[in-house]
Amino acid sequence: MLIVQKFGGTSVGDIERIRKVAKKVVETKRAGNDVVVVVSAMAGETDRLINLAYQLTDNPDMRELDVLVSTGEQVSTALLAMAIIELGCRALSLQNHQIKIITDSSFTKAKIRRVDAEKLINLLKNDIIPVIAGFQGIDENGNITTLGRGGSDTTAVAIAASLMSYRDDVICEIYTDVDGVYTADPNIIPYARRLDEISYEEMLELSGSGAKVLQTRSVGLAMKYNVKLYVKSSFIDGKGTLITKETQKMIEDIVVRGIASDKTQARITLLGVPDDQNVIIELFNSIAEANIVIDIITQTSSVDGLTDIGFTVSKSDFKRAFEIARKFAEKNGVKNVLGDLNIGKVSIIGIGMVSHAGVASRMFTALARAGIKVYMISTSEIKISCVIDEKDIEKAVKVLYDEFKLSVDPKSEIQIKSDSLNL
């Protein structure tokens, strides 16, 4: 097989761990596989570098920020390649200008356009293990870019997808500090259950709703190119979780497969906006032009020709978005603009929602019973999200975990049912 193995920050957090990762890579290789490695910066390093920039200025130049933060991954590629060579295998560290991961020019959140996998195939033919820097890319003008926080997952999946044009035995393994995808963040719900399998669609919604175990875009890419994707632990052996196409059984199994929470969003509310479509479009156009992604939007019904508009953006974009909203308000005679950085979002996700009624009402009732106020709601076919106070996030996850009985393994429930039929 050709296995793309990605190791996250904690997995390469110190020299001892890098040695262990090297051992795993070499064992995989010696078992007769071809291995391509993608590696993140050592734990805490990206945060440290970002922090340095913000010590210098409140408003760092985004191109320079990418030059700075991409260095974290360069360090780990060199150390891991050395550790693999030390164990007697051939390895070569590669930065993204060397294997050409071409992206657009949206610094700090660039999107991959193409990957030149031919070089990797040639290295593999010569029995060399490529050790590639995750997270970084290069734009058409040769500038260094980065793919957004958690972006090494996306590097790994993009490389696996491009290798699939040359080989039909490619899989992608994401090694991290948990042994798979759980029904909720195991750091919030210690008794959460590991899932053997989850559909691409559900994983996409879980990640998009804040489960950082996989970067959302990595799941989108895996779904598009049908990449066989596993999440496994760097520290303990196990079969992990397979992210795969949905099956009929998955749909019938269970209504809510997982819960996610997200504390990275902030809310902006404009009170008394003229209820004129062109005016409202102007607001969202200005935000889009600043390359700021909006998550949830709400609009109240019109009273005396005025309406209230609320939307959420990531906390890191809040200052810029608030400034745009303030200027828009000034220009259009909007009464008031409010900002709230203390919100969070809790989401329930499951393909079974498509065929089960009453899920939303159960969610709202459970939150209300726990005294948790809901400010905004958004839904997709297989997800319901509520914006609540950040301080209530952990409580909300626990309440919903119990309400939807996520600790019950659906397989064992089916077993009990068939036993009782036999009686």
Residues binding ligand ASP (CB under 6 A): 8-9, 40-41, 46, 72, 134-135, 149-153
Distance, CA of 172 to CA of 157 (rounded, Å) = 7
Distance, CA of 98 to CA of 135 (rounded, Å) = 14
Distance, CA of 308 to CA of 301 (rounded, Å) = 8
The residue ranges that bind ligand ADP (CB under 6 A) are 8-11, 40, 150, 176-178, 181-182, 184-187, 206, 211-213, 258
Q: Smallest distance from the beta carbon of 9 to ligand ADP, in angstroms?
A: 4
Rank residues 54 and 191 by Cβ distance to ligand ASP and give the closer one. Answer: 54
Helix (H, G, I), strand (E, B) or coil at 13: coil
Task: Identify whether the C-beta of residue 176 lies closer than 8 Å to the C-beta of residue 161.
Answer: no
Consecutive H or E run containing 268 = strand 265-274
DSSP code of residue 232: E
25 CB neighbour count, 10 Å cutoff: 26
Rank residues 260 and 384 by Cβ distance to ligand ASP and give the closer one. Answer: 260
Whole-angstrom CA distances from 267 to 61, 79, 321 are 25, 42, 10
Q: Smallest distance from the beta carbon of 65 to ligand ASP, in angstroms?
A: 13
Q: Taking CB within 5 to 8 Å according to partner kind, which of ligand ASP, Mg ion, ligand ADP, none is near residue 228?
A: none
Consecutive H or E run containing 103 = strand 101-103
**Which residues touch 145 (CB under 8 Å, ≥6 apart)?**
66, 103, 104, 105, 106, 107, 110, 136, 137, 138, 139
The DSSP annotation for 369-411 comes to HTTPPP-EEEEETTEEEEEEEGGGHHHHHHHHHHHTTTTS-HH
Distance, CA of 221 to CA of 27 (rounded, Å) = 28
The single residue among 13, 130, 150, 258 that binds Mg ion, judged by CB under 5 A, is 150
Q: Which own/partner pairs from 279-287 qualify as long-range (CB within 8 Å, at least 24 positions apart)?
A: 279/332, 280/309, 282/328, 282/332, 283/309, 283/324, 283/325, 283/328, 286/324, 286/327, 286/328, 287/313, 287/321, 287/324, 287/325
Tokens representing 303 are 């009273």
Rank residues 28 and 155 by Cβ distance to ligand ADP and give the closer one. Answer: 155
**Segment near Mg ion (CB under 5 A); pick from 3-11, 63-71, 304-312, 402-410:** 3-11
178 CB neighbour count, 10 Å cutoff: 22
Q: Taking CB within 5 to 8 Å according to partner kind, which of ligand ADP, ligand ASP, Mg ion, none is near residue 362?
A: none
Q: Taking CB within 5 to 8 Å according to partner kind, which of Mg ion, ligand ASP, ligand ADP, none is near residue 415?
A: none
Rank residues 8 and 186 by Cβ distance to ligand ASP and give the closer one. Answer: 8
Rank residues 34 and 66 by Cβ distance to ligand ASP and give the closer one. Answer: 66
Rank residues 28 and 152 by Cβ distance to ligand ASP and give the closer one. Answer: 152
Closest residue to ligand ADP: CB criterion: 8
Q: Smallest distance from the beta carbon of 45 to ligand ASP, in angstroms?
A: 7
Rank residues 64 and 394 by Cβ distance to ligand ASP and give the closer one. Answer: 64
Q: Smallest distance from the beta carbon of 241 to ligand ADP, in angstroms?
A: 8
Q: Smallest distance from the beta carbon of 231 to ligand ADP, in angstroms?
A: 7
Q: Smallest distance from the beta carbon of 325 to ligand ASP, in angstroms?
A: 28
Q: Taking CB within 5 to 8 Å according to partner kind, which of ligand ADP, Mg ion, ligand ASP, none is near residue 135?
A: ligand ASP
Distance, CA of 206 to CA of 68 (rounded, Å) = 30
Which backbone phi and psi does 213 adopt, to 5 degrees? -55, -30
Q: How many residues bind Mg ion (CB under 5 A)?
A: 2
Q: Taking CB within 5 to 8 Å according to partner kind, which of ligand ASP, Mg ion, ligand ADP, none is near residue 134?
A: ligand ASP
Rank residues 8 and 137 by Cβ distance to ligand ASP and give the closer one. Answer: 8
Q: Smallest distance from the beta carbon of 269 to ligand ASP, in angstroms?
A: 30
Rank residues 151 and 310 by Cβ distance to ligand ASP and give the closer one. Answer: 151
272 binds Mg ion (CB under 5 A): no
Helix (H, G, I), strand (E, B) or coil at 156: helix
Closest residue to ligand ASP: CB criterion: 152
Q: Smallest distance from the beta carbon of 185 to ligand ADP, in angstroms?
A: 4
CA 311 to chain centre: 21
Q: Taking CB within 5 to 8 Å according to partner kind, which of ligand ADP, Mg ion, ligand ASP, none is near residue 185?
A: ligand ADP
Rank residues 148 and 274 by Cβ distance to ligand ASP and give the closer one. Answer: 148
Q: Taking CB within 5 to 8 Å according to partner kind, which of ligand ASP, Mg ion, ligand ADP, none is near residue 182?
A: ligand ADP
Helix (H, G, I), strand (E, B) or coil at 276: coil
Summarize as ranges the residues that interact with Mg ion (CB under 5 A).
Answer: 8, 150
